[in-house]
Amino acid sequence: MTIDVRNAVGAAQQYFGSLRDMIGYHTEDLRLEEAELSEDKKHWFITLGFIRPVDKTSNPIADLMAIRNYEREYKVFKIDATTGEVHSMKIREV
């Protein structure tokens, strides 16, 4: 029996939350971006997005004024569809 999408998303959120102190920067606005069950129905692929502060920008005026900009980043979690165990977390390029 496979876990449903809510449980897969919950597993991804919990896993991400447990690693926040190891990521190296502050994250905010965690959101579900994508959810996909693999064709063989063995894994859920859950994409979570969040914003993080960016120290330098492509705008030199903002840099001079020390205005903090934010950038959205995405992580893809591969979750076992039977057990709900997170097998991997990867950076998703957009």
Radius of gyration of the chain (CA): 16
Q: Which residues contact 77 (CB under 8 A, 6 or more apart)?
A: 11, 12, 15, 16, 44, 45, 46, 47, 48, 86, 88, 89
Q: How far apart are CA 49 and CA 94, in angstroms?
A: 11
pLDDT, one tens digit per residue, over 12-53 is: 999 999 998 888 888 899 999 999 999 999 999 999 999 988
Question: pLDDT tens-digit profile of 53-90?
Answer: 876 656 666 556 555 688 899 999 999 999 999 999 99
Residue 89 belongs to what H/E stretch? strand 86-91
The single-letter code of the amino acid at 54 is: V
Beta pairing class for 43-54 and 86-91: unpaired
